[in-house]
Structure 1
Amino acid sequence: MNINDYGFVRVAAATPKLKVADCDYNVYEMKSMIDEAVKNQVQIICFPELCITGYTCADLFFQTALLEKAKASLLEIASFMHDKPTIVAIVGLPIRKLNCLYNVAAVISSEGIVGMIPKTYIPNEGEFYEKRWFASGKDMENTTIVIGNEHIAFGTDILFETPFVTFGIEICEDLWMPIPPSSNLTLKGAELIFNLSASNELVGKHAYRRSLVAQQSGRCICGYIYTSCGVGESTTDLVFSGSRIIAENGSIIAESERFSLDNRMSINDIDLFALRHDRIKNANYLTPDQSTCQVLPCQIRPISADKIRRTINPFPFIPSKSEENERLFEVFNIQTHGLAKRLMHTGIKTVTIGISGGLDSTLALLVAIRAFDLLGIPRKNVYGITMPGFGTTNRTYNNAKELVTSLGATLLEIPISEAVELHFKNIGHDLADKNIVYENAQARERTQILMDIANKIDGLAVGTGNMSELALGWATYNGDHMSMYGVNTSVPKTLVKSLVRWIADTQMEDSSQNILHDILDTPFSPELLPADQNGNIAQITEDKIGPYELHDFFLHRMLRYGDSPSRIYYLSQFAFAEKYSAETILKWMKTFYRRFFTQQFKRSCMPDGPKVGSINLSPRGDWRMPSDASVAVWMDELLQM
């Protein structure tokens, strides 16, 4: 399987064992790591700053013997690379040009030395005195330098273009500057930045260095591969740890163990398609004049890999355990303050919420209670209305009543069966025909009650529907689809469940907590069809439309990254490898695309509601789509799988 066709490129940050000024030893270790990288199907490998000689050579950099040996070692590596067409190596060494000595990064492919990038910003303070040895390439125009018998491109304004990705290079201190060279390189087309570094360790420095790498990858919307020299460097004054960090668009996706005595390599697959998607969506990400930029072709053959070397999160909307408290607290507060602002603006001090005993209405009720507490309005002004119908089970009915009461809200019970039966009589519908009319009439009756009670008490009807339902159109038009303010409209189903569990465990007293946990264990169902003979829920939502965890994954990849069906299918098989077969995934993908395209008309007139994450289906926010758009292109691709 060619991962390049699916938008990935495999990179490695390498820290080899090293002896200061022993080029033969250093090259041997680098060659062994290149061999290892080839076995791991790495396509671009980056070594630390001045790795051929060692960074801490000090005045030995003035020695002709060392400089000539470094150049010969570079040629040795280039010769070693001739039979390795699937990988490019980036190495560091000192190079003399005319009357100056430069700290450079050399890019080597199977075709030879492609180009050299001199360091732009040379430190000369604290522990570093590089200006004693090296000149800056800052004001240098792109030129050439003779290495062996070849004229090699030399300069700071150079990009390297492979068949799959374009990359640029900066060196150590460059990253720490107000405007790093990578800022301009990425604007000119670099999708990856490789940083060859020699950053020593001090207490607290690693955290700052880590944040710099993550932030620069985010600002530049790029992959950022950082590698620093290891403990083999001289410890006369400093200690180096071999820090390696791979970041992608603001997130650290791979990180090294530091202070190792052995060769160490961090490998990851960068998601180029995701980066390109974010760049074209960012209207401020404009390409400046490229006339001064030299783009060098750099050949790499594609690789065939059984799997990708990165974690594909099957639950992209659910925060990790380490971030759970902070992220879920933010979501809950965004929802709460959205509703609170609407209440303050309108002067309304009462709300109605349809409480079914399911997760969505439970979350909406918890948000309303929190908003009323925030505004100092009595909880009794929250009217939780349970409206049992043909499919309501005792479990959900009792949970709905007990939850409203335990929270101190006002409970109203308004059965709808009689009213719906009268409606069926008036429109000539047979009660025995349990079709879509049978189901939707109940949903619309409930919405009418909520709206009318809201009018009666000078209140606002709070919607309960979530984003996953909006994506699939799993809502009755002008029924549960409609409200006066929808607090869950950008909260997907998988996040609803995580959020309710977090609220139950961290924000609630025992009396409400036990009820919430039983609601969490209740299957998803609209309960519009009669219960089975044992009184249990007969209509399971996920049996009809598919698992929400799959649909939320599809939705996230499609909207957040603009992924094609084939790419989503490819990633889904890694994300859900232990749970769903490829056939099952494909089946529900077809359902997802068919429903997503046919149900846009419901999203085009959805109520106001707060955006909580990176995706929102509101036509006033993130997603604008014609209701008549054809799904043919997407379905054709699915049919070819």
Structure 2
Amino acid sequence: MSVRRVVLDAVPPAPATTVEGGVAERVTDEAEVWQALVLGLRDYVRKNGFRSVVLGLSGGIDSSVVAAIAVDALGPDRVVGVSMPSQHSSEHSRDDAADLAKRTGLDYRIEPIQPMVDAFLANMSLSGLAVENLQARVRGVILMALSNQEGHLVLTTGNKSELAVGYSTLYGDSVGGFNPLKDVPKTMVWTLARWRDAEAERRGTEPPIPENAISKAPSAELRPGQLDTDSLPDYSELDVILMGYIDGDKGRDDLIAEGHDPAVIDKVLRMVDISEYKRRQSAPGTKISIKAFGRDRRLPITNRWREPSDR
């Protein structure tokens, strides 16, 4: 049997090239978190077949940041922001929502809720907290109706601090299919807002978030003069406690040893412990911390155990 010999020509060497190496500039923590939140929302929308999102625009910091994230992720033509004022909504909140819409170019709509709330109150005897929560739930119904009618994914805007202590209304402001801020503490929401505006100025574009939405005291505006601090410690203190308890697995004694008021510790830890049933019903969101609710930290929905105290 004959063997055919095949001779291959030598492959000529590749021309010499010079590659300039270097170390990329490190991005800031804020830039890294923002990019993660944008990517998380964009992927969730795309992979679940939605073309657009809708959210309530209250003029507050949380909804403003969610709107900015959504516009960065999807573009303004795929984001619907709905202002849903009640008789307790301040003029500046309405103006701030409209200002953000103008800055970002999203689809802005106004749906006053007071006639709908009055219709309920004309047929039911409600007062106090029940009326406050009714307003939040009417807003949730409006957003879900727009979702059904037009095919939007509803974004809820509660942050990690509120989720931790149960500071939300089930089937109200917690309504939604995705929550970009689910793992973002309140103090970080403010930090991200200022970073995003500063980044816009650095690039020579208009900052998306109005300064007043960042600087004003946070409020759900469900009753006259309401502020978040009526029900919660100041967020600068609350977030430190929550980070220690949730992310750091610290107990009551550890937190008191760090200098926190025992009465405040007892109040916050109790709020966290009894709010698991709300967190179980919350929308998914992008993970950015060591411990995200529903993924890394899950307690029984209900139990009689409480963090020990001296009371």
TM-score by length of 1: 0.43
Task: Show the counterpart of 1:443.
Answer: 136
Which of 73, 76, 81 in structure 2 is aligned with 1:371? 73
Task: Show the counterpart of 1:559.
Answer: 246
Which of 170, 176, 191 in structure 2 is aligned with 1:477? 170
Task: Show the counterpart of 2:29.
Answer: 327
In structure 1, the residue corresponding to 2:80 is in which secondary structure? strand
Asked if 2 retains the 8 angstrom alpha-carbon contact of 1:467 and 1:490, the reply is: yes
Task: Show the counterpart of 2:147.
Answer: 454
RMSD, matched Cα = 1.9
Is 1:346 the counterpart of 2:48? The answer is yes
In structure 2, the residue corresponding to 1:563 is in which secondary structure? coil
CA deviation after TM superposition for structure 1 residue 543, in Å: 2.9
Structure 1 alignment gaps of length 5 or more: 1-322, 374-378, 531-537, 574-581
Asked if 1 retains the 8 angstrom alpha-carbon contact of 2:155 and 2:180, the reply is: yes
* Cα distance change, pair 589–452 in 1 and its aligned pair in 2 (3 A): same
Task: Show the counterpart of 1:404.
Answer: 101
Cα distance in 2 for residues equivalent to 1:369 and 1:610 = 16
**Could you give the per-residue CA deviations for residues 194-236 of structure 1, whole angstroms, max 9, x where no partner exists?**
xxxxxxxxxxxxxxxxxxxxxxxxxxxxxxxxxxxxxxxxxxx
Is 1:492 the counterpart of 2:179? The answer is no
* Cα distance change, pair 328–638 in 1 and its aligned pair in 2 (3 A): farther
Query: What is the identity, as a one-letter code, of the residue corresponding to 1:439?
Result: E
Task: Show the counterpart of 1:360.
Answer: 62
Structure 2 alignment gaps of length 5 or more: 1-25
Stretches of 4+ aligned residues off by more than 6 angstroms:
none
CA deviation after TM superposition for structure 1 residue 330, in Å: 1.4
CA deviation after TM superposition for structure 1 residue 600, in Å: 1.1
Larger Rg: 1
Cα distance in 2 for residues equivalent to 1:629 and 1:393 = 40
**Could you give the per-residue CA deviations for residues 382-424 of structure 1, whole angstroms, max 9, x where no partner exists?**
1110000132101111000111122110110000011011012
Asked if 1 retains the 8 angstrom alpha-carbon contact of 2:68 and 2:208, the reply is: no
Asked if 1 retains the 8 angstrom alpha-carbon contact of 2:64 and 2:209, the reply is: no
**Could you give the per-residue CA deviations for residues 32-76 of structure 1, whole angstroms, max 9, x where no partner exists?**
xxxxxxxxxxxxxxxxxxxxxxxxxxxxxxxxxxxxxxxxxxxxx
Task: Show the counterpart of 2:213.
Answer: 519
Query: What is the identity, as a one-letter code, of the residue corresponding to 2:276?
Result: Q
446-455 or 503-512: bigger deviation: 503-512
In structure 1, the residue corresponding to 2:290 is in which secondary structure? coil
Task: Show the counterpart of 2:262.
Answer: 586
Cα distance in 2 for residues equivalent to 1:354 and 1:514 = 16
Asked if 2 retains the 8 angstrom alpha-carbon contact of 1:350 and 1:457, the reply is: no
Task: Show the counterpart of 1:637.
Answer: 309
In structure 1, the residue corresponding to 2:45 is in which secondary structure? helix
Cα distance in 2 for residues equivalent to 1:349 and 1:405 = 21
How is 1:529-540 mapped onto 2 (pairs within 5 angstroms)?
Answer: 529-530=223-224, 538-540=225-227
Query: What is the identity, as a one-letter code, of the residue corresponding to 2:74?
Result: F
**Could you give the per-residue CA deviations for residues 10-31 of structure 1, whole angstroms, max 9, x where no partner exists?**
xxxxxxxxxxxxxxxxxxxxxx
Asked if 2 retains the 8 angstrom alpha-carbon contact of 1:551 and 1:589, the reply is: no
Which of 294, 302, 306 in structure 2 is aligned with 1:628? 302
CA deviation after TM superposition for structure 1 residue 515, in Å: 5.2
Which of 228, 233, 257 in structure 2 is aligned with 1:546? 233
Cα distance in 2 for residues equivalent to 1:361 and 1:326 = 23
Asked if 2 retains the 8 angstrom alpha-carbon contact of 1:406 and 1:511, the reply is: no
In structure 2, the residue corresponding to 1:464 is in which secondary structure? coil
How is 1:13-412 mapped onto 2 (pairs within 5 angstroms)?
Answer: 326-373=28-75, 379-412=76-109
* Cα distance change, pair 557–396 in 1 and its aligned pair in 2 (3 A): same
In structure 2, the residue corresponding to 1:406 is in which secondary structure? helix
* Cα distance change, pair 335–370 in 1 and its aligned pair in 2 (3 A): same
* Cα distance change, pair 628–404 in 1 and its aligned pair in 2 (3 A): same
**Could you give the per-residue CA deviations for residues 471-495 of structure 1, whole angstroms, max 9, x where no partner exists?**
1100001111221111110001010
In structure 1, the residue corresponding to 2:281 is in which secondary structure? coil
In structure 1, the residue corresponding to 2:51 is in which secondary structure? coil
Asked if 2 retains the 8 angstrom alpha-carbon contact of 1:565 and 1:638, the reply is: no
**Could you give the per-residue CA deviations for residues 500-534 of structure 1, whole angstroms, max 9, x where no partner exists?**
1100111358885385221111101100013xxxx
CA deviation after TM superposition for structure 1 residue 352, in Å: 0.5
In structure 2, the residue corresponding to 1:616 is in which secondary structure? coil
* Cα distance change, pair 515–605 in 1 and its aligned pair in 2 (3 A): closer
In structure 2, the residue corresponding to 1:485 is in which secondary structure? coil
Asked if 2 retains the 8 angstrom alpha-carbon contact of 1:462 and 1:485, the reply is: yes
* Cα distance change, pair 443–511 in 1 and its aligned pair in 2 (3 A): farther
Asked if 2 retains the 8 angstrom alpha-carbon contact of 1:384 and 1:411, the reply is: yes
How is 1:583-622 mapped onto 2 (pairs within 5 angstroms)?
Answer: 585-618=261-294, 621-622=295-296
CA deviation after TM superposition for structure 1 residue 344, in Å: 1.2
Cα distance in 2 for residues equivalent to 1:507 and 1:569 = 41
CA deviation after TM superposition for structure 1 residue 356, in Å: 0.5
Query: What is the identity, as a one-letter code, of the residue corresponding to 1:523?
Result: A
Cα distance in 2 for residues equivalent to 1:510 and 1:550 = 35
Asked if 2 retains the 8 angstrom alpha-carbon contact of 1:354 and 1:384, the reply is: yes
How is 1:405-424 mapped onto 2 (pairs within 5 angstroms)?
Answer: 405-424=102-121
In structure 1, the residue corresponding to 2:253 is in which secondary structure? helix
**Could you give the per-residue CA deviations for residues 222-251 of structure 1, whole angstroms, max 9, x where no partner exists?**
xxxxxxxxxxxxxxxxxxxxxxxxxxxxxx
Percentage of matched positions with identical amino acids: 26
- The answer to which structure has the higher strand fraction is 1
Cα distance in 2 for residues equivalent to 1:515 and 1:367 = 11
**Could you give the per-residue CA deviations for residues 598-625 of structure 1, whole angstroms, max 9, x where no partner exists?**
211001121111101112112xx11111
**Could you give the per-residue CA deviations for residues 535-579 of structure 1, whole angstroms, max 9, x where no partner exists?**
xxx1111132111122211111112221110111111x2xxxxxx
In structure 2, the residue corresponding to 1:494 is in which secondary structure? helix
In structure 2, the residue corresponding to 1:507 is in which secondary structure? helix
CA deviation after TM superposition for structure 1 residue 638, in Å: 4.8
Task: Show the counterpart of 2:20.
Answer: none
Cα distance in 2 for residues equivalent to 1:386 and 1:511 = 25
CA deviation after TM superposition for structure 1 residue 631, in Å: 4.4
Asked if 1 retains the 8 angstrom alpha-carbon contact of 2:65 and 2:209, the reply is: no
In structure 2, the residue corresponding to 1:348 is in which secondary structure? coil
Cα distance in 1 for residues equivalent to 2:138 and 2:93 = 19
**Could you give the per-residue CA deviations for residues 315-339 of structure 1, whole angstroms, max 9, x where no partner exists?**
xxxxxxxx8x521111111111111
Structure of greater relative contact order (alpha carbons < 8 Å, 6+ residues apart): 2
